[in-house]
Amino acid sequence: MTAFAELHMHIEGALGPDLIFGLAERNRMHLPYDSLADLESRYEFTDLQSFLDLYYANLAVLRTADDFADLTRDYLRRAAAAGVRHAEIFFDPQAHTARGVPLQVVLDGILDVLAVSEHEFGMSTGLIASFLRDQPVHDAEAVLDELLRLRAPIIGVGLDSAEVGNPPTLFEDVFARARAEGLHAVAHAGEEGPPEYIRQALDVLGVERIDHGVRCLEDPELVRRLVDEEIPLTVCPLSNVRLRVVDSLGQHPLRTMLDAGLKVTVNSDDPAYFGGDVGVNFARLREELALTDGEVETLARNSIEASFASPARKEQLLAM
Ligand code: ADE
Ligand code: ZN
């Protein structure tokens, strides 16, 4: 198989039970779980919010730059083993600053490891700061101010967390400012939210990719537009199953999307929470949707073309 890129993963979503217990011990913290098995028994989600509740609670163990470095290294090691050769990684600044962890500490930990990623794991990387759409817009503005003040070497901004009731339009100004600074822009839209949020992300936020976007299928005119404009959709099949966006992997609309001509990619979203990394997503899709070698090739090529890697790096990745 050709090399591929992962364009939709939250580094905080790579925080698995073992690391949670390890970091709690190192930081001398008490966890609200009786045992590893007790924690693992809670990975049963009914919707996006039920997952976000556990995801945010578990972040309490991330306190030092070393913690963020360990988390990042853990993700890169697993992703490289799964065949990922380029990764664009989200992080949620507000989820840490709100707990009293300085943004510089978060950046130091993640960036120290990303700096050696190509050498140690053969993976090029980029970091994307996501705004939490269920928090006040003012907080997103403050995060952008701080990122710019620190000259954080991020490649772009994103929009995540609880979607329904928190439309992209709220974030028009902060996205405009980020884009004016030369940053790429992406946004979660059409995961649980309606097709209208996908239109808003494109028209109001000026995003270059849509994260998830599966609900575009409810709006044929929007599908035509996404096809015509070759807007990449970073789809996360196992996430969609675990968060009940779709009933089962066998009923996932990935092939429908490919057949419609949409520029779809496959991603893990939060690999420690949804049953596996991007390699597992591909393996399960081969089993449940009978995804063919040709379709996997298309998805791999899409991921590289849709990435924000340099033209030279894209050429290199496509030739692998
Ligand atoms: N944050 C982490 N994973 C997410 C998802 N799937 N949707 C929205 N926000 C998220
Ligand atoms: Zn996501």
Nearest residue (CA) to ligand 1, atom 10: 161
Q: Considering every ligand atom, which ligand is closest to the CA of 50? A: 1
Which bound ligand lies closest to the C-alpha atom of 163? 1
Give me ligand 1 centre to Cα 286, in Å.
24
- Shortest-distance Cα residue to atom 9 of ligand 1: 161
CATH number where 168 lies = 3.20.20.140
pTM of the model as a whole: 0.98
* 28 CA to centre of ligand 2 in angstroms: 30
pLDDT, tens digit, for every residue of 249-275?
999 999 999 999 999 999 999 999 999
* Average pLDDT of span 109-113: 98
Task: Check pocket membership of 239 for ligand 1, CB cut-off 6 A.
Answer: yes
Q: Is the CB of 13 under 6 A from ligand 1?
A: yes
* Nearest alpha carbon to residue 269 among 34, 13, 95: 13
Q: Tokens 């928190």, residue?
A: 166
Return the C-alpha torsion angle 27, 28, 33, 37, nearest 10.
70
- 132-191 pLDDT, tens digit per residue, is 999 999 999 999 999 999 999 999 999 999 999 999 999 999 999 999 999 999 999 999
Each residue's pLDDT tens digit, 38-49: 999 999 999 999
Q: What is the pLDDT of residue 2?
A: 74
CA distance 4 to 278: 10
Q: In DSSP terms, which residues pair with 181 in a beta bridge?
A: none
Write the secondary structure of 184-253 as one string of H (helix), E (strand) and C (coil).
EEEEEECCCCCHHHHHHHHHCCCCCEEEECHHHHHCHHHHHHHHHCCCEEEECHHHHHHCCCCCCHHHCC
Element (H, E) at 136: none
Residues annotated as part of the active site: 191
Neighbours of ion ligand 2 (CB under 5 A): 269
CA of 99 to the centre of ligand 1 (A): 19
Is 160 near ligand 1, meaning CB less than 6 Å away?
yes
Residue with tokens 């419609």: 260
Q: Say which ligand is closest to the CA of 134.
A: 1
Radius of gyration of the chain (CA): 18
DSSP string, 24-85: HHHTT---S-SSHHHHHTT---SSHHHHHHHHHHHGGG--SHHHHHHHHHHHHHHHHHTTEE
User: Which amino acid is located at 174 in the chain?
Assistant: V
Tally of structural domains, the chain: 1
Which residues are 210's β-sheet partners? 187, 233
pLDDT > 90: percent of the chain: 99
The finding on whether 88 has its CB within 6 A of some atom of ligand 1 is no
* Domain ranges, residue 289: 4-319
Amino acid at 197: Y
Q: What are phi and psi of 230, to 5 degrees?
A: 50, 45
Nearest CA to ligand 1 atom 8: 161
Q: Would you place residue 1 in the very low, low, confident or very high pLDDT band (cuts 50, 70, 90)?
A: low
Angle, vertex CA 135, rays to CA 129 and CA 205, nearest 5: 55
